[in-house]
Structure 1
Amino acid sequence: MLLKKIPCMAFAIIFFVFSYAFAAERGWQGVVDEIEVLLNKGADVYADGKTEAAKAKVSDAYFAAFEEKGMETAVRLHISSKRAYELESMFGGIRKAINTNASASDVKERIDLLVKALREDIKKLSEKDGNKKGKKESPYAIFFNSFIIILREGFEAILVISALTAYLAKTHHKDKIKTVYKGAGIAIIVSILTAIIFNTAVKISGAGREAMEGITMLFAAVVLFYVSYWLITKIEVARWQHFIKSKVKTSLSRGNIFTLGFASFLAVYREGAETILFYQALYSSSDGNSGTIIIGFAAGSLLLVGLFILIKYGSVKIPVGQFFAVTSTLLYYLAFTFAGKGILELQEALWISSTSIEWLPTISFLGIYPTWEGIMLQAILVLALLIAIVYSFILRPFREKAMAAKDISYIESDIKILHDILDDVSQHAMICHGLASGIAGQETDEIRKHLVDIDSKVYEVMGHLTKLEKGLEDVFSEIEKEIIKQN
């Protein structure tokens, strides 16, 4: 129970630890002015042929001003994630223009468009922050923002944890569930430590932070895809369970248990530190209205707990095969979105290139962003899923059908051989009985009696074999029908 309470207690307390670090009012006008100055300096040095210096100025404008001064977080929090991505893409477009040796006028035009977009957002942010004309954000808006932050950031983590715990409960491994909770609990502690490091211990660059988030997301995508594939392979096993009257109990290996715990850790950690930073930003813009923030946080947490209970305990009534199918689909969806978001983070950190796809829209809830790098990785995941489905539902059943037919053939052959042997023994017994009947004597009479007993037992065994053969035919017929049904 303590592990289940850790998320609510930790996040409710942690943003107070850092509240004063973000308590100063944001002057978004000053932030945009700083961004404009840095970008224009970049344009000037680019016009002089100093490409590397120009890229450095653009990076400073993004990381040291737009992100480090909190404007990126504020846009994402108070306007929309889509708008934040649009602005990030505009920064990326400037970097790409410089990398591809575009004309100085093209670079300057892109800078002007970005600055114009940033100034359009100043009014919205100023109203939200209460920086304009002394206006303050209403308690209802603060509550809603606090509610949405924990709900949005915790939703995917709750899906992963509830799906994994439901799987362990469904497969009679309730004693292993604590491993998943431990993974989540450790992730919360590490997230808090990470947030402390971000704010106090060392000054990690914006690029370093983006890179760490991207790597964490990609790790999570790999682990979740593995678990998803693992569950897909269990669907076939589930379909055969009602044919097996004496089911052999199996236990999860130590390696698989570690994988489930690690998946839980990554699902929580990938958003943990960022969630704390969002609450810091919200506190600084709420004029110290911490009570409303806590109420919103608690309401969102209660909704997440309700979702957890619904998935974990509601799945008990779902047939095993359907449960595995739904759970594997859910985890694959999360792996797919994490892959796209992970690539986006690495692109923002300038670790990998960003090649735009003009015709592709942004679909945030699927983690689809219009760059070839992200789409290619997600295409690989789709291909891997198709291979897993083809193997699990087509190739493996076909192979099992062939192996079953081969086994049936061997059994039929063995039964036929046994029939022939018994027939041969019976014939020899009859011959011996005929020969002995023409010879008088007490010993001969004993031999005849034994031969009669042998013949009787042979026919008795043949009767049992006939029944066994009929029973096997019925079983094989049912198995064949089930294989045909699966195919």
Structure 2
Amino acid sequence: MFKVLSSTILLVVILIFTPINKVFSQNDDTSTQTVIHLLGYIARDYAEGVQDGKIIDEQEYSEMKEFSAQAYRLTKEGDFLSEEDQNILDEMQELRTLIADKKSAKEINTSAVKLKNDIIKVTGVETAPKIWPDVKVGKSLFQQNCASCHGANGNGQGELAKGLEPAPTNFYDAELMGQVSPFQAYNTVKLGVQGTSMQAFSESFNEQELWALAFYVKSLRFEDKTADSLLLRKEFKEVFSYISLKDIATLSDDELLAAIAEKTDNPKVKLEAVRLLAPVGENATNSLSVAEKNLRAAVKNYSEGNKKLARNNALNAYLEGIEPVEARLRANDPSFVIELEQQMLQVRQVIEKGKGTDAVKVEAEKALVLITQADQLLQDQKLNYWLTFILALSIMLREGLEAFLILAVVLALIRSSGVKKALPWLHGGWIAAVLMGIAGWFLSDYIIQFGGKNREIMEGLVSLLAVLVLLFVGFWLHNNSTAKKWKEFVEGKIGRYLQKDKMFGLAIFSFMVVFREAFEVILFLQAIRLEAAPGDKSAIGLGVLVAVVCIALMAHLFLKYSKRIPVRQLFQYSSWVIILLAIILMGKGVHSIQESGWISVTGIGTSFRIGWLGFYPTLETVLAQAALIGVVFITYFMHNQGIKKVALK
């Protein structure tokens, strides 16, 4: 049994380390973004090839036909359109016909832009960064990777520009750059441009770097302006009160100029301000704005009849908006975090149950009120050096102790029973997980790109796999808790249980228990790193170090005194402790998968929850834990009945 279980666990661990966005993603994001990218090019560049029904540039026109055909093929072969959205494919074929008939640039632009917006709407693809990009990072990347072709100042006259056809983009060209949004620039850098020297940088840069570079190239043509910096900051503050980061990322300069002009005067200076400046202080990295925008989008989409998209909006509001600041909020007011999470859950519930637009609006408004309070808590809580240290310490202690609690029981058993050959396997498992966690810290930008949904799925599956192993260990301990059984085990079966395939399963279990917590630690610490001042980031390392020392001290004391406990009692108590841990992990695992949106969420009429015990006020988590308890008692009852029958014989 254990051999089969360990093989199953190994398979799932392999799946976990397969790029998770390919395993779990419902949509092929690369194909979707490529289609959006191609449609953007068609909308903007068609006029370069055709005017008044005549071809003025054969190469440009051929490119338009090729791009429209490629967009159609990717859409048809992809899985990002549901059956209800197949009309988009028909419209895309119609766009190909319009291009073949050399229709006006206005018709082509209208069709391509509509298709692009429809695809963005139905797929929910991200068209804006989650936090404001760092233009300084973008400038550094530009000088290292782009200046050789585009020129050090971005004028398109780099050392390698000669002979390139088409020529590298001149980012000071007001007419051209006025039609390009940062999102289009982001896609160009990420995906490249087929048939040109513009290569794809999707493997070279992470998401934050791609956005930083996109925002930087959009700022270049405004850098030589001489407007007073104080005036610019004033204008930026005003325009940012009604123009969101998503607007700034998805609208071209021409579109943004028109949007600003509808609201206020002096739009050109305000456009310059949003392309050159960024928010200061907490607002620069506060993800609560993501939660707010997604909640409003959820209400809008639900009222328009798009329940599926509304559900995704509500999920993203929590996973991408609340979770990144959860650690800071918990440090300030733990009870408030529970209230906020519960309300976000309530929003998802009314959407899933189809309670109606009014009910969704009411629950969303309650959540928005709490988000405003959360924002105020973050404004009041500046991340200085010692607060950063305390947050890092508390996170590492909490997650580290969860893993230690499980491993300590197994370690105590091994040491009490004298099965020393098992120690290297157990230690090897958790050490490998720690090393993977350290590597994960340096690769955390990639991990963050998994998205909140896939992170929750990974955590949930690892928890449920650990439940299986814990159940097996608990039953084994129970079966060997009597002196006679233990004697038989030591004298007759110890050799078989020390075979490598058995111990390999122990190593996998040890790895899983620690890896789950290490993965969560990385995500929380990354959130703190984004919010800490540059000079205070070393406090994160100090907090982690102190936590590790504390955990090591507790481990030493536990193992030292656990030797005094008789083997029989240790086995009896440990079997029930392990079953309790399995019940806790069952609740945590189901809860994580609920948060990913994989399974439904049904409230049980109370907000009471104990996260560290794995108890959450949802029907699904309670039923899963109740079922597990039932299986445990039925198995023990059947086992004891079998012992009694043997004794009677």
Q: In structure 1, what is the equivalent of residue 610 of structure 2?
A: 363
Match of 1:89 among 342, 349, 367: 342
| Structure 2 length-normalised TM | 0.52
How far off its partner does 1:33 sit? Answer: 4.1
Q: Is the Cα–Cα contact under 8 Å of residues 239 and 321 in structure 1 kept in the other structure? A: no
Determine the C-alpha separation between the residues in 1 that align with 2:624 and 2:507: 25
How far off its partner does 1:291 sit? Answer: 4.7
Aligned to 2:601, the other structure's residue is in SS state: coil
Map Cα deviations across residues 298-336 of structure 1 (whole Å, 9 max, x no partner): 332222112212232322111111111222222222211
Map of 1:399-410 to 2, 5 A cutoff?
Answer: 399-403=645-649
Q: Determine if the alignment matches structure 1 residue 104 to structure 2 residue 342.
A: no
Match of 1:153 among 399, 405, 414: 399
Q: In structure 2, what is the equivalent of residue 329 of structure 1?
A: 576
Give the aligned residue type for 1:221.
V
Map of 1:161-310 to 2, 5 A cutoff?
Answer: 161-200=407-446, 203-236=449-482, 238=483, 248=492, 250-251=494-495, 252-254=497-499, 255-287=501-533, 288-310=535-557
Map Cα deviations across residues 164-185 of structure 1 (whole Å, 9 max, x no partner): 2221222221122000011111
Map of 1:57-72 to 2, 5 A cutoff?
Answer: 57-67=313-323, 70-72=324-326
Q: In structure 2, what is the equivalent of residue 312 of structure 1?
A: 559
How far off its partner does 1:204 sit? Answer: 1.3
Q: In structure 2, what is the equivalent of residue 480 of structure 1?
A: none
Map Cα deviations across residues 124-149 of structure 1 (whole Å, 9 max, x no partner): 22232x2xxxxx5362x444323221
Map Cα deviations across residues 265-295 of structure 1 (whole Å, 9 max, x no partner): 1110111021122223334444232454444
Shift of the 55–28 alpha-carbon distance from structure 1 to 2, 3 Å rule, reads farther
How far off its partner does 1:362 sit? Answer: 0.7
Map of 1:118-129 to 2, 5 A cutoff?
Answer: 118-128=371-381
Match of 2:632 among 375, 385, 388: 385
Q: In structure 2, what is the equivalent of residue 54 of structure 1?
A: 310
Q: Is the Cα–Cα contact under 8 Å of residues 227 and 260 in structure 1 kept in the other structure? A: no
Q: In structure 2, what is the equivalent of residue 116 of structure 1?
A: 369
Match of 1:352 among 589, 599, 621: 599
Q: Is the Cα–Cα contact under 8 Å of residues 28 and 71 in structure 1 kept in the other structure? A: no
Alignment: residue pair count: 370
Give the aligned residue type for 1:137.
N
How far off its partner does 1:154 sit? Answer: 0.5
Shift of the 25–338 alpha-carbon distance from structure 1 to 2, 3 Å rule, reads farther
RCO greater where, 1 or 2, for CA within 8 Å and sep 6 or more?
Answer: 1
Determine the C-alpha separation between the residues in 2 that align with 1:28 and 1:334: 40
Aligned to 1:74, the other structure's residue is in SS state: helix
Q: Is the Cα–Cα contact under 8 Å of residues 587 and 622 in structure 2 kept in the other structure? A: yes
How far off its partner does 1:206 sit? Answer: 1.4
Q: Is the Cα–Cα contact under 8 Å of residues 481 and 568 in structure 2 kept in the other structure? A: yes
Shift of the 66–303 alpha-carbon distance from structure 1 to 2, 3 Å rule, reads closer
How far off its partner does 1:240 sit? Answer: 6.0
Q: In structure 1, what is the equivalent of residue 588 of structure 2?
A: 341
Determine the C-alpha separation between the residues in 2 that align with 1:190 and 1:286: 24
Query: Runs of 5+ in structure 1 lacking a partner?
Result: 1-17, 131-135, 404-487
Aligned to 2:349, the other structure's residue is in SS state: helix
Aligned to 2:375, the other structure's residue is in SS state: helix
Give the aligned residue type for 1:161.
L
Map of 1:32-51 to 2, 5 A cutoff?
Answer: 32-51=288-307
Q: Is the Cα–Cα contact under 8 Å of residues 302 and 357 in structure 2 kept in the other structure? A: yes
Determine the C-alpha separation between the residues in 2 that align with 1:58 and 1:240: 54
Q: Identity, % of aligned pairs?
A: 25
Higher helix proportion: 1
Q: CA RMSD in A?
A: 3.0
Q: Is the Cα–Cα contact under 8 Å of residues 28 and 122 in structure 1 kept in the other structure? A: no
Map Cα deviations across residues 203-258 of structure 1 (whole Å, 9 max, x no partner): 2121111111111111112111211121111112x36668x9x9557332434322
Query: Runs of 5+ in structure 2 lacking a partner?
Result: 1-205, 210-279
Aligned to 2:449, the other structure's residue is in SS state: coil
| Structure 1 length-normalised TM | 0.69
Determine the C-alpha separation between the residues in 1 that align with 2:532 and 2:376: 17
Map Cα deviations across residues 34-74 of structure 1 (whole Å, 9 max, x no partner): 4333322332332232323322332343344334xx23343
